[in-house]
Amino acid sequence: MFDWNDLRFFLELHRSGRLLTTAKRLNTTHATVARHIENIERDLGTQLFAQHTGGYQLTPAGQALLKHAEAMENTALLAQEEMSQSISPLGQVRLGVTEGLGSMFLAPRLGELMRQYPGLEVELVSVPRFVSITNREADIAITLERPNADLVISRRLTRYRLSLFASPAYLENAPPLRDREDLCKHPWIGYVDDLLFSQELMFHHSFCRHPQVVFRSTSVVAQQQAAQAGIGLAILPQFMGLHDPRLVPVLPEEFIEREYWMCTRRELHRSVRLRLVWDFLLQLCEREQQILVGGQRAGGATAYQGE
């Protein structure tokens, strides 16, 4: 019979794919990680990992063990959750979200939730990539695509719109912008194509067949700042661009619509503190539909309609 403690090392190595990363996450040495993996392989009489250039990958035997190991981990987490709630209600919830929504929309609004539940602690992981709930990087994740994984609960959080924006200084000296045909005459701001974390971010061709992209960044906030500096046209979520006094909408009748999805691990959906955050996010996005998809500009400023 194998040592149940070895399963922690098995799961973490599966999630990280590397001994050193696993050791860092578990606050131990790579030799200790290797020893635990060797122990469980010896006790089970089979190889669980194969080493490749990209790291450690599960063998068929490892895949068979994985679902049982995750189920045991989920049971332990649920027990811990129930005990912690009985002793000290609420606690910490880590929310993983794409950079624009996290930094520019959620962060200014989460104070309402914190004031309502003083015992709640929220960690906002707002980065230009997906944050994995299956790898335990977050308790709740908000993504651009609907998750497709076992042991995951998902729900559409909201629709949102993206439009064209530029600085008034840029538009004063730029070629006329009367319709879509004029867009190809302007420099663009966009993502680094080979570093895109989602195909949903490939939206330039929705506006212009051959855009001349002169500035690229993995960060949508950096793209917003580049537009403020007058580099060119940027495609931004309306909740960012319409509320930036240093930018104006360009051809406001042109926009594209996307969706945000929210997901969590199935066993955590029974958590009291997680459900507080989950329900708050749903209610917030429902309440703020005018900002997310309504297209209303703060302060009543007019959009750039061309010359």
Residue ranges of the domains in the chain? 6-87, 91-159+260-291, 161-254
Q: What is the three-class DSSP state of 17? A: coil
Supply the pLDDT for residue 298. 44
d(CA 222, CA 201): 15
Q: Are 133 and 265 in contact (CB under 8 A)?
A: yes
The hierarchical CATH code for the domain 91-159+260-291 is 3.40.190.10
Name the stretches of the chain with pLDDT < 50. 87, 298-305, 307
Query: Reduced to 3 states, what is the DSSP secondary structure of residue 41?
Result: helix
pTM of the prediction?
0.67
Assign domain 161-254 one CATH number from 3.40.50.300, 3.40.50.2000, 3.40.190.10, 1.10.10.10: 3.40.190.10
Same fold yes or no, 91-159+260-291 and 161-254:
yes
CATH level 3 topology of 6-87: Arc Repressor Mutant, subunit A (1.10.10)
Residue 232 sits at the vertex; the CA angle it makes with 226 and 233, to the nearest 5 degrees, is 100
Identify residue 246 by its one-letter amino acid code: R
Q: What is the predicted pLDDT for the residue at 303?
A: 47
Burial (CB count within 10 angstroms: exposed 0-12, middle 13-18, buried 19+), residue 243: middle
Contact 138, 274 (CB under 8 A): no
276 closest CA partner among 156, 118, 155? 118
What pLDDT shows up at residue 273?
84
Q: What ranges in 96-195 are assigned the alpha helix state H?
A: 99, 111-116, 168-173
